Structure 1
Amino acid sequence: MIRRKPNMTFHPSYWFSSLGAGGTAVSFFMYLMWMVPHKNTPIPTFADWSTQLNEGGFMAALTFASLVGIIVFSILHFALLFWNIAESTAFKKDLKALVNTPAEVQLMAIPVTFAMTVNVLFILGALFIPNLWASVELLFPGAIAAFALIGVYAVRIFVQYISNMVRSGGYASVDHNHLSALVSVFTFSMLSVGFAAASAMSHIAITAAIATTLSIAFFAFALLIGIIVLSHGINAIMKHGIAEAASPSLWMLIPILTVLGISWVRLSHGLNHHFGIESSPGSLFLPLTVIFMLQLGVFTLGYKVMKANHYLTYYLYGDKENPISFGLVCPGVALFVMGMFWWHIGWVKTGIIEPFSPAYWIGIGVLFTIQVITISALLKLIRKLLRHPTPTKVAHV
């Protein structure tokens, strides 16, 4: 049963548990995306993986394991999603107490999780509902509408936060010595990549054009807000040092770069198909390499800081408890996912690396290690923060 410590105030960061589980489900989908043939559809479907399983061998086993991973972590995602909805409803006062404070922006963890839910549902539908792809053009407007509603919700939260901050002259830098406000950028980036799916995969011009426009809008919004948040956050960190409890925010840029990178790939496909702007694996090698190398740099810097202040020792492996620790999960998932895009588009599709060669599997092995470490961290944090035992009732004689 999911249960947090009763003496800990409910915080929006608990939503990152569901977000991380959903992202992990998507990470298992990456094996199918890049290793299961799907010539007739842009992503693998029920028919594609069924054919792969029937062929037997190692790839069939890998496909089966990936499907199990998708199912298990999708179930975990929805279990944590419903728990967070229930907790947010039951403890509205805790969330309202954040309004007009620097922590108000953390409410953006809610819409970004809902956006992940739409992505998970899309994957589950494509994989487990036979022949669904034949009607996919009817589903794209629904997906666009869902992301639009989430976008309105996210914009309302962010506008209220930024208006409160501007009205009061901003918050003291000592209260902003972290990068947690990047959750707003993450949210808008997630919406951008959601809209970009229809841009890349729809064959109906008007659907793709609307999706492309909305994706670019949130992409641009994410970039603008990102510049502002990074400049203020880094300045505050340089003055006061990183707030220990918010140390995972140093890695928040990693998932942002991943979803913006995937948005770029999807938009490139959509612009090529509908607007005649040429795109090729070679042309995507440069932006994907820049993004992945930047992610590795951010990861290394963040790890060195968290090693120096013993954050991982205290909050992941030790006795200190804080729901912000769930912010450690998405960066690991994002690094794995972007690694899969970079490896397959930049190296395999360009012919530099032969598919399923020894060199290919070495690269996959490195990424798999990242995935395993991330899953281990997610499960450890769930056990630590959300498996608090229910008090036993003492029987009175």
Structure 2
Amino acid sequence: MNSQAHRPADTWSPLYFLASLGAGGLTVTFFMYLMFWVPHPGQPVPVFEDIMLAFSTGGIGMKAAIVIALTGIAGFAFLNVKLLIWNLARRSEFLKTEAYTKLVNSNGETLLLAMPLALAMTVNAGFILGLVFVPGLWNVVEFLFPAALVAFALIGYLAFRQIGDFLGRVLSEGGVFDVTANNSFAQLLPAFALAMVAVGMAAPAAMSTVPLTVGVSLIASIFLGTVAGLYAIVSAILAFNSMLHHGTAKESAPTLMVVVPILTVLGIMMLRQEHGLHTTFEAHGGMADNLVLTTTILAIQSAFLVLGLLVLRRQKYADAFLRGEGNSAGSWALVCPGVALSVMLHFWINKGLVGAGLIAKFGVAYWGLTAVALASQVAMIVLVAVLYRRHFAKRNPASLVAAE
């Protein structure tokens, strides 16, 4: 018997792309250390040279933070790419099976959007790797922005094609969408994918100094972000109605919190757009605009986090799929909300509270609030380790036979 037989991951599902997504998201959480703690005059994000200067001149705390950040970025970016490649290979095999035919003729067809979602995250993670590990990258970055826009455009095209296949089928044929099985927020996955592409599209708006590049970035990200928001609202309303009638599907219960990462990526998209409008088109906002935006996002996220955790607790989800014998690929959806909360807290603290002058940077209140973001990050690292062991670790054949 193969020593890896009967691992949960051997029964592949498109939701395993969320494992790659979660690792990419943790890469971003470590980049937050550098983004907000390392001085980076002259450009909106820290680059290799800024990081090395801060490391050579900073105190022990700065040095430790940089070492932890670089280690975390490298490690989780590697895991992100490794899991993406594994998923792409398994997907290729899956397309030839009867399970795929069954999937594309059910509500679950939208699960295929997990692939463009993960692809977009990997492109974002790749850009972070370039910024922090490649010397002199900022000197040629204007040549990279058009390439990034093309890459995200291709991923967006793939996402729209898959969404079109699904909506074309269910809206033209009628009676093929099972409303009783729509009792979760699983149908928000397409919106999440579009939002992830949109935030990537918005990056040149915040960082480029070429008006045409900024303009294309703004237009493309506004278009994708608006469609993502519209799709999320419609899908959430339909799903909530079904949940009120039939309860929340236990295995899909983690999707109740998918609103959290969707709002984080859309929030970062809007912050990037605002920066581009300010620096390139002289559209000046008020000092407290970022405070209002990030606080509003956190308020909505808090509501969905509380709702999701309440349902998970009432359904004893952890006993079934995190501590018990059961395993579900959908458990990887639990990583995204915690990662997204950590990232949004960093933006709220630094762009909102510090930006509006409510708290002092690196003061007691600053570190007290930042500790919450770091705690959420650490919790998600532990969760990824637990899920990876449950779903991907090699099993002892003898113990499997004994269990059977």
Q: Same fold (TM over 0.5)?
A: yes
Q: CA deviation at 1:283?
A: 1.3
Assess, with a 3 A threshold, how the Cα gap between structure 1 residues 291 and 111 changes in structure 2: closer, same or farther: same
Assess, with a 3 A threshold, how the Cα gap between structure 1 residues 31 and 121 changes in structure 2: closer, same or farther: same
Map of 1:161 onto structure 2: 166
Q: CA deviation at 1:186?
A: 0.5
Q: CA deviation at 1:9?
A: 3.3
Give the AA of the match of 1:191: V
Contact 1:5/1:385 (8 A) holds in 2: yes
Q: Deviations over 1:47-72 (max 9, x none)?
A: 11111111242111111111111111
Give the AA of the match of 2:118: T
Contact 1:4/1:386 (8 A) holds in 2: no
Q: CA deviation at 1:181?
A: 0.9
Contact 2:8/2:391 (8 A) holds in 1: no
Contact 2:8/2:390 (8 A) holds in 1: no
Q: CA deviation at 1:3?
A: 7.6
Map of 2:46 onto structure 1: 44
Distance 2:140 2:163 in 1: 35
Assess, with a 3 A threshold, how the Cα gap between structure 1 residues 95 and 51 changes in structure 2: closer, same or farther: farther
Q: Does 1:147 align with 2:152?
A: yes
Distance 1:129 1:95 in 2: 41
Map of 1:354 onto structure 2: 360
Q: CA RMSD in A?
A: 1.6
SS at match of 1:167: helix
Contact 2:8/2:392 (8 A) holds in 1: no
Q: Does 1:337 align with 2:353?
A: no
Q: Alignment partner for residue 231 of structure 2, among 225, 228, 231?
A: 225
Map of 1:385 onto structure 2: 391
Map of 2:80 onto structure 1: 77
Q: CA deviation at 1:6?
A: 6.8
Q: CA deviation at 1:276?
A: 2.2
Q: Does 1:66 align with 2:69?
A: yes
Contact 2:8/2:327 (8 A) holds in 1: no
Aligned length: 392
Map of 1:210 onto structure 2: 216
Map of 2:200 onto structure 1: 194
Pairing of 1:190-339 with structure 2 (within 5 A): 190-339=196-345
Q: Deviations over 1:11-35 (max 9, x none)?
A: 1000000000010011100011000
Q: Does 1:91 align with 2:97?
A: no
Map of 2:143 onto structure 1: 138
Distance 2:210 2:384 in 1: 39
Give the AA of the match of 1:222: A
SS at match of 2:103: coil
Distance 1:212 1:8 in 2: 41
Distance 2:10 2:49 in 1: 47
Map of 2:402 onto structure 1: none
Map of 1:175 onto structure 2: 181
SS at match of 1:181: helix
Q: Which runs of 5+ in 1 are unaligned?
A: 393-397
Contact 2:9/2:392 (8 A) holds in 1: no
Distance 1:384 1:157 in 2: 30
Distance 2:148 2:8 in 1: 37
Map of 1:105 onto structure 2: 110
Q: Deviations over 1:293-333 (max 9, x none)?
A: 11111101110110000012211222210101100001110
Contact 1:100/1:165 (8 A) holds in 2: no
Q: CA deviation at 1:86?
A: 1.2
Q: CA deviation at 1:279?
A: 2.6
Assess, with a 3 A threshold, how the Cα gap between structure 1 residues 4 and 205 changes in structure 2: closer, same or farther: farther
- Taking structure 1 as the reference length, the TM-score comes to 0.95
Percent of aligned pairs sharing the same letter: 38
SS at match of 2:174: coil
Assess, with a 3 A threshold, how the Cα gap between structure 1 residues 237 and 248 changes in structure 2: closer, same or farther: same
SS at match of 1:389: coil
> Which of 373-382 and 13-22 deviates more?
373-382
SS at match of 2:299: helix
Q: Deviations over 1:69-122 (max 9, x none)?
A: 111111111111111111111222243431121000000000010000110110
Distance 1:204 1:7 in 2: 45
Q: Deviations over 1:179-209 (max 9, x none)?
A: 1011111011111111110111111111111
Contact 1:22/1:74 (8 A) holds in 2: yes
Contact 1:33/1:43 (8 A) holds in 2: yes
- Taking structure 2 as the reference length, the TM-score comes to 0.94
Q: Which runs of 5+ in 2 are unaligned?
A: 399-404
> Which of 311-320 and 108-117 deviates more?
311-320
Q: Does 1:31 align with 2:52?
A: no
> Which of 129-138 and 268-277 deviates more?
268-277
Distance 1:206 1:51 in 2: 32
